[in-house]
Chains A and B, each alone.
Chain A
Amino acid sequence: MNSIEICGLTKRFGSMTAVDHLDLRVKEGECLALLGMNGAGKTTVIRMLSCQLCPTEGDALILGNSIRETPARVKELVALSPQETAVAPNLTVRENLELIAGICGAGKKEAAEQTEELLQRLSLQEAEKKRAGKLSGGWQRRLSIAMALIQQPKVLFLDEPTLGLDVLARRELWNVVKELKGKVTILLTTHYLEEAVALCDRIAVMNRGRLKALGTAEELMERTGCRTFEDAFAQLAAEEGKT
Chain B
Amino acid sequence: MRIRIFGLRTAKEILRDPMSLIFGLGFPLILLGLLTLIQKNIPVSLFEAAHLTPGITAFGLSFLCLFTATLVAKDRSGSLIARLRATPMRSIDFFLGYLLPLLPVALLQMGVTYLAAMLLGLEPTLHILPAILAQLPLAVFHLSCGILCGCLMDERQVGGICGALLTNLSAWLSGAWFDLKLVGGALERIAFLLPFANATEAGREILAGSTVSEKPLLICCLWAFAMLILAAIACKRLTSVR
Contacts and interface: CB of A to CB of B under 8 A. Distances in A.
B74 interface: yes
Contacts of B85: 50-52
A50 B86 contact: yes
A174 B2 CA distance: 32
Contact of B83 (A72, A76, A131, A147): A147
Given A53-B241, A71-B241, A90-B17, A100 B78 contact: no
Interface stretch (A24-32, A77-85, A176-184): A77-85
Interface string B1-41: 11001100100110011000000000000000000000000
Interface stretch (A101-109, A186-194, A213-221): A101-109
Nearest to A53: B242
B210 interface: no
A144 B176 CA distance: 46
A100 B86 CA distance: 11
B87 A84 contact: no
Contacts of B2: 102-103
Nearest to A84: B79
B80 interface: yes
A54 interface: yes
Nearest to A73: B88
A59 interface: no
Contact of B79 (A72, A75, A82, A90): A82
Contacts of A112: none
A53 B240 CA distance: 9
Given A84-B79, A86-B78, A75 B9 contact: no
A81 B88 contact: no
B100 interface: no
Contacts of B89: 103
Bin chain B's interface residue count. Answer: 20 to 34
Nearest to B87: A103
Nearest to B14: A90
A90 B19 CA distance: 12
Instruction: Label chain B's interface by main secondary structure.
Output: helix
Contacts of B79: 82-86
A72 B88 contact: yes
A125 to B, nearest CB: 21
A102 B241 contact: no
A89 interface: yes
Interface string A82-118: 1111111111000100011011110000000000000
B88 A76 contact: yes
B241 A52 contact: yes
A90 B83 contact: no
A85 to B, nearest CB: 7
Contacts of A81: 83
Contact of B241 (A54, A91, A105, A131): A54
Interface in A108-163: 131, 147-148, 151, 157
Interface of A: 47, 50-54, 71-72, 75-76, 78-91, 95, 99-100, 102-105, 131, 147-148, 151, 157
27 contacts: A50-B86, A52-B86, A52-B241, A52-B242, A54-B241, A75-B88, A76-B88, A80-B86, A82-B83, A83-B79, A86-B79, A86-B80, A88-B9, A89-B78, A90-B16, A91-B13, A99-B6, A99-B9, A100-B83, A102-B5, A103-B2, A103-B6, A103-B84, A103-B88, A105-B88, A147-B83, A148-B83
